[in-house]
Structure 1
Amino acid sequence: MKIIFAGTPDFAAAALKAIADAGFDIPLVLTQPDRPKGRGMQLQASPVKQAALELGLRVEQPEKLRGNADALALLQSVGADVMVVAAYGLILPQEVLDAPRHGCLNIHASLLPRWRGAAPIQRAIEAGDAETGVCIMQMDAGLDTGAVVSEHRYAIRDTDTANEVHDALMAIGAAAVVADLQQLEREGRLNAAAQPENGVTYAQKLSKEEARINWHEPAAVIERKIRAFNPVPAAWTQYQGKPLKIWRVETVNQQGRAGEVLSCTSDGLVIACGEGALSIKELQPAGSKRMDIAAFVAGRSIEAGTVLE
């Protein structure tokens, strides 16, 4: 069975490696063009491109697929049985979806139809969902609207950050898509069920501005946001006119004026919220590295009564 793979970040690279390890024929890998990254803004290959080259696979990096006759001709020339898509980052027009014999399978990091869209992991944590997971989905022209081939659940722990859930779902998704491909190879078909019409939610893209902490919100709401936006875009507040990133907190049963510093010790920087308070355990002042609260207070302090914005 010939498989085209399309993806870009680490989440997708894990699936590509698993598919290759399972012995499938991968004649073509698609990924985003190299992008400038880091302080030097040097062009850097995506994790999927790096994995594909290590595996000795052919890689192509079209800027777009819609209206791209050359890319479509390439896809059709492969004669693929199926295309696996994971966090690719490009819209797939209908002619691309139709190119492989069995269409395109997407690895989506939510329990569809909940959290269709760009940031399903972060939105699930932010909303306080008890669980999330991975769906292998038969792609159609809609936004994550296709029939679900298989569903795999993950219980979100109270301490989970987006990074930790991402890594768990990355492993789950890689194993899941291999199992479904093996079934497709064995039986020549997959059992796909249409998504229910009820329970649809959309996971909008994240922005730096929405990651700014509103201390008037309840402590529990802010705590979830901090975990959801760790590591990107990182929750932050303003102190002395500069951003102060907040990486890890615990809720505490104290009260005060929203944004007010209640205490600052090596045990925690306690900030009052609209309801309850948060004890900051790990933070990052502007121009510094991430540090635990003990390291922070060793070199500076924030006086009780100071109000963060």
Structure 2
Amino acid sequence: MKIIFAGTPDFAVPALAALINAGHEIVMVLTQPDRPAGRGMKLKASPVKVLAEQHGLFVFQPETLKNEAVQAQIAQTHADVMIVAAYGLIIPTIVLQMPKHGCYNIHASLLPRWRGAAPIHRSILAGDQETGVTIMEVVPALDAGAMVSKGVVAITEADTTQGLHDALAAMGADLMVEAMQTLAQTGYLASVPQDESQVTYAHKLEKAEAMIDWRKSAVEISRQVRAFNPFPVAQSLLHGDVCRIWMATSVAGMPSAALPGTVLDVHDGILVACGDGVLRISELQAPGGKRLSAQVFMQGHALKTGDQFGGAL
């Protein structure tokens, strides 16, 4: 089929690669304009653009799809279908209606739960037992289209947003290839409307959410740390400096009467008292330093039992 692919970050790369490998004709790749990045703030191509150019595909990077000239160029592709994966720009209704068979999206949640910008983060924060990917029709309302297919992934107490992101990106790619194979063969994709009574929203992350409140339970703080890995990374004051905490898990069956934030032990990870339970920090980062295992971190930092995490900035 003749496909317009609209995507920008790493999450979208496996889907584009899978569609290319499946033999579809990618007539246009829509991706966001190159953005300044790194210390030099030089313009950097999106991961999707990098892959598209490796395969010699036509890349189109408008700032908006609301421009009539932009819309005319999209219309000239005479695409059979548009596929969207974390594109990041609003797609006007007129553009959604251009492809012969419509427009389909890869969304990283089990819709109707967690519509919106940060579904993986929010699923971990909420303590969900599972998450997944939904292939859905794109409609003007946010993530509200009918559902074509789903894949489910269990969330363990060791899962981070980064790990789930990679697993869901791969799963979404497979599901979309399957959907496009069906569409190519039959000209039709069966879908099921979402139950509006079950909708929840995954609001965009705020940097203020990254600061740890040690009065919370160890289970809640572990979810916060894992949800914010790799961004924005959970943090706490330690010896007056902001320390970034990359990985931490709650310790089962270990209550503590110590003041929340108190270091209890530094031998098997860094054990810290919480409002309820104990947290084991296994990976952290000092200001200006590298991301280190707790064992390596303690070799270069004078951290001892009785020290305190937390306090106001």
Q: Normalising to structure 2: TM-score of the pair?
A: 0.95
Matches within 5 A, 1:46-125: 46-66=46-66, 68-125=67-124
d(CA) in 2 for partners of 1:89, 1:238: 34
Cα pair 1:31 1:61 within 8 Å, conserved: yes
Cα pair 2:158 2:249 within 8 Å, conserved: no
Matches within 5 A, 1:132-171: 132-171=131-170
Structure 1 residue 207 displacement after superposition: 2.1
Q: Deviations over 1:256-286 (max 9, x none)?
A: 11112223x2422221111011121111011
Give the equivalent residue in structure 2 for 1:197: 196
Cα pair 1:32 1:62 within 8 Å, conserved: yes
Give the equivalent residue in structure 2 for 1:238: 237
Structure 1 residue 154 displacement after superposition: 1.1
Cα pair 1:27 1:58 within 8 Å, conserved: yes
> What SS does structure 1 have at the residue aligned with 2:211?
coil
d(CA) in 2 for partners of 1:233, 1:156: 20
d(CA) in 1 for partners of 2:61, 2:139: 22
Q: Normalising to structure 1: TM-score of the pair?
A: 0.97
More moved, 83-92 vs 237-246: 237-246
The one-letter amino acid paired with 2:56 is: G
d(CA) in 1 for partners of 2:295, 2:158: 20
The one-letter amino acid paired with 1:149 is: V
Cα pair 1:266 1:297 within 8 Å, conserved: no
Give the equivalent residue in structure 1 for 2:295: 294
Q: Deviations over 1:100-159 (max 9, x none)?
A: 111110000000000000011111111111111111100100000000011111111221
> What SS does structure 2 have at the residue aligned with 1:173?
helix
Cα pair 2:118 2:204 within 8 Å, conserved: yes
> What SS does structure 2 have at the residue aligned with 1:279?
strand
> What SS does structure 2 have at the residue aligned with 1:243?
strand
Structure 1 residue 247 displacement after superposition: 1.2
Give the equivalent residue in structure 2 for 1:285: 286
The one-letter amino acid paired with 2:223 is: R
d(CA) in 2 for partners of 1:136, 1:30: 19
The one-letter amino acid paired with 1:179 is: E
Give the equivalent residue in structure 2 for 1:262: 264
Unmatched 5+ stretches in structure 1: none
Structure 1 residue 198 displacement after superposition: 2.2
Does 2:14 align with 1:14?
yes
Structure 1 residue 82 displacement after superposition: 0.6
Give the equivalent residue in structure 2 for 1:275: 276
Give the equivalent residue in structure 1 for 2:4: 4
Q: Deviations over 1:4-35 (max 9, x none)?
A: 00000111111011001100011100000001
d(CA) in 2 for partners of 1:240, 1:34: 40
Aligned pairs, how many?
307
d(CA) in 2 for partners of 1:160, 1:191: 33
d(CA) in 2 for partners of 1:46, 1:55: 15
d(CA) in 2 for partners of 1:171, 1:106: 14
d(CA) in 2 for partners of 1:217, 1:182: 48
Structure 1 residue 220 displacement after superposition: 0.3
State the identity %.
52
The one-letter amino acid paired with 1:262 is: L
Cα pair 2:242 2:286 within 8 Å, conserved: yes
The one-letter amino acid paired with 2:270 is: L
Structure 1 residue 51 displacement after superposition: 0.5
d(CA) in 1 for partners of 2:102, 2:47: 24
